[in-house]
Amino acid sequence: MALLKEWQKIAYDEKADKGVLRKFWTDYFALEKGIYEKLLENPDQVEKGTVKELADKFGVDIMAMTGFLDGINDSLIEKNPIDTMEEDTVVNLGFDKELLYRNMVDAKADWLYDLPQWEAIFPEEKRKELYKEQKKANTVVKGKKIGRNDPCPCGSGKKYKYCCGRN
């Protein structure tokens, strides 16, 4: 079975005890934070290797590295074959810095986008700008509501309630 399927089976098990699953995610998020702290120390260096080699390098097990690779894949310059990935699959961690920051904001992962390592990558103004851009990207803006006594938008000259607003 591909590593991603195994990861999803563990991480998204609907039959698992809620307390056990909560602990699983708490532990995973701590590992994920540690990996990002190391990656962001030298953001221009592209880490490459097999899944097993990267897991060993960052001091995590294969499943945690699989989850990490699944999470970062949308932020990579060159995507990894996560659906078919095995322990000996060569992967890379070359990420787009702005895209990674935006994706962290989108995921509401404040423990990641608030890491102090970002201060050396982007000035505070840039981080605020990226944050606002990402938040606006998910905002739905509705148009002005037509009142029943407003002129009908079809251009007939009638009131909306006597034209297109009729039931």
Q: Under a CB-based contact definition with an 8 Å cutoff, are residues 151 and 145 in contact?
A: no
- What are the backbone dihedrals phi and psi of residue 159, each rounded to the nearest 5 degrees, phi first? -70, 150
CA distances from 103 to 51, 73, 83, 130 (A): 22, 11, 20, 10
Beta bridge partners of residue 95, listed in sequence order:
76
DSSP string, 56-79: HHHT--HHHHHHHHHHHGGGBSS-
Measured N-to-C along each axis, helices 18-41 and 51-58 cross at an angle, to the nearest 10 degrees, of 90
Does the predicted model carry a pTM greater than 0.85?
no
Q: What confidence tens digit (pLDDT) does each residue in 88-139 have?
A: 999 999 999 999 999 999 999 999 999 999 999 999 999 999 999 998 887 7
For the segment 42-96, what is each residue's pLDDT rounded down to a tens digit?
A: 999 999 999 999 999 999 999 999 999 999 999 999 999 999 999 999 999 999 9
